[in-house]
Structure 1
Amino acid sequence: MSLSLITRKFTVEEYEKMTTQGIIKPDEKVELIRGEIIKMSPMGTRHAAGIDRLIQLLYQKLGQKIILRVQNPIKLNDNSQPEPDLSLLIPRSDFYVAAYPCPQDIYLIIEVSDSTLDYDRYTKIPLYAEANIQEVWIVNLKEKCLEVYRHPLNGSYQAIQKYSINERVFMTSFPDIEFTIAEILGV
C-alpha cells in the first residue's frame, strides 16, 4: 500500500501574516511559489556582482523611466510572491507603498542565474508566463549569454531567444535603448 502525502499550500495573505508575526524571520531568504515557501539559494560573488552591474547599467540607460526593485517581492497571484533579482516597474509617485507590484506594473523581470539556472528556467519562467509578465531576461552566467522570454500565451512564452556576447538587445518597453550582451555580462 502506498501512502499519499497531502501538502498544505499557503496564500500570499497567509504568507505575509507569517512574516509580520515573526514566524518567518526578516533575515530568512524565502519566497512563496505556487503556495509553497521556498528557501532561496545563498548568493555567490558572481551572482551579486552581476546584480550590482545591472543596477548601474539600468540606471545609467533608463534613469527615471523606471523604478528598479532589487530582490523585493512582487505579487503574481493569490499563491505566488517571488522575489526576482531585478524588477523594472512602471514609475509611481508612491513607489508601491500600499501593495507589492502586480504583473501589470512590470516592464521587465531579470533573473541573474548561476547555480539557480534550472530553477529559474523551469520554475520561475513558467510562473511569470502564467502571470502574463510580458518580458523576462535570464542573465545566464554559466553559458555567458542572455536568454530573453517574450509574448506570454496560455502559460508559456511564444518568443524565446538566446543572445551571445557580441550581440545587442533591447527591452520591448523601451525599443530605442540598446544594451550589449557584453556589458550585461561584464565581459
Structure 2
Amino acid sequence: MSAVFPQKHLTDIAEWHRMGEAGIFPPDSRLELIAGEILTMAPIGFNHAGHLRRLNTLLTFLTVNHAIVSIQSPIQLGDLSEPEPDLALLSPNADFYSNRHPKAEDVLLLVEISDSTLRFDREQKRRLYATHMIPEYWIVNLIDDCLEVYRQPQEGDYLDKSVLTKSDSLNLLTLPEIKITVADIL
C-alpha cells in the first residue's frame, strides 16, 4: 500500500469570491489570496499606518489627474492571486474600477510598507508582482529606514533593484515627470 500524504487545497479567484459572498470569513478578517493560498495578513501597527497615510497624501497630490491612488484594495493577478498591497497607483479609469478589480495591466506602481512582513514582501510578493509584469514595485522598509525600488520585471523577478535613503530622489517609471524625494516617504 502506498503512503498517502495530506494535500493542500488551492483555490482560485472565483471560489475565493464565492467564499466571501457566502460569509465564510468574519467581516473584519484581513486575508488575501496569493498563488491559490488564503493568507492571513499581519496587523497594521501605528508606524506602518502613519507611513501609509504619508505616502497616500504625497502620491494623491503628485499624481492628481494622472493616476488613481488605491489603498489596501484588491488587485487581480491571474486566476490564483488577489493581493491587497498597501498602496497601488492605477491607470485612470472613468468609474474608478467600480465594476471590477484592477488587473496587472492597470497597475503603474505597487507599494508594500514592511516591518514584520519584510521577508515575505521581498520574496513572495516581489516574485508575484514580477511574474505579472508590474512595472514598478516599492518596499518602504521600516526596519532599515530605506526605500527598495524594483523595476524591469522579467521571468518572475526584477532585473533592477535600488535601495534609496532619505537623501535620494526618484522619478516614477510610468509617470517620469513626477519626482519624489525619498525623505517625504520615510
Q: Which TM-score band applies after superposition, normalised by the shorter structure? A: over 0.9
Find the residue that maps to 1:158 and give its secondary structure: strand
Q: Residue 71 of structure 2 aligns to which amino acid in structure 1?
A: V
Q: Kindly indicate whether the alpha-carbon contact (under 8 Å) linking 1:130 and 1:154 is maintained by their aligned counterparts in 2.
A: yes
1:115 CA drift (Å): 1.1
Aligned residue number for residue 86 of structure 1: 87
- Of all paired residues, the percent bearing the same amino acid is 41
1:99 CA drift (Å): 1.1
Using the alignment, how far apart are the partners of 1:69 and 1:3 within structure 2? 45
The structure 1 segments of at least 4 consecutive aligned residues displaced by more than 4 Å after TM superposition are none
Aligned residue number for residue 142 of structure 2: 141
Aligned residue number for residue 7 of structure 1: 8
Kindly provide the CA deviation profile for residues 116-168 of structure 1, in whole angstroms up to 9, marking residues without a partner as x.
11111111110000111111010111111110010111111011111111111
Using the alignment, how far apart are the partners of 1:69 and 1:150 within structure 2? 20
Aligned residue number for residue 125 of structure 1: 126
Q: Residue 160 of structure 2 aligns to which amino acid in structure 1?
A: A
Instruction: Confirm whether residue 38 of structure 1 aligns to residue 43 of structure 2.
Output: no
> In the TM superposition, what are the counterparts of 1:76-115 in structure 2 within 5 Å?
76-115=77-116
Using the alignment, how far apart are the partners of 2:118 and 2:3 within structure 1? 33
> In the TM superposition, what are the counterparts of 1:54-69 in structure 2 within 5 Å?
54-69=55-70
1:5 CA drift (Å): 2.2
TM-score, normalised relative to structure 1 = 0.96
Using the alignment, how far apart are the partners of 1:2 and 1:72 within structure 2? 42
In angstroms, what is the RMSD of aligned CA positions? 1.2
Indicate the larger mover: 128-137 or 169-178. Answer: 169-178
Find the residue that maps to 1:76 and give its secondary structure: coil
Aligned residue number for residue 155 of structure 2: 154
Task: Point out where structure 2 has 5 or more consecutive residues left out of the alignment.
Answer: none
Task: Point out where structure 1 has 5 or more consecutive residues left out of the alignment.
Answer: none
CA separation of 1:153/1:17 partners in 2, compared to 1, >3 Å: closer, same or farther?
same
1:2 CA drift (Å): 7.1
How many residues end up aligned between the 2 structures? 185
TM-score, normalised relative to structure 2 = 0.96
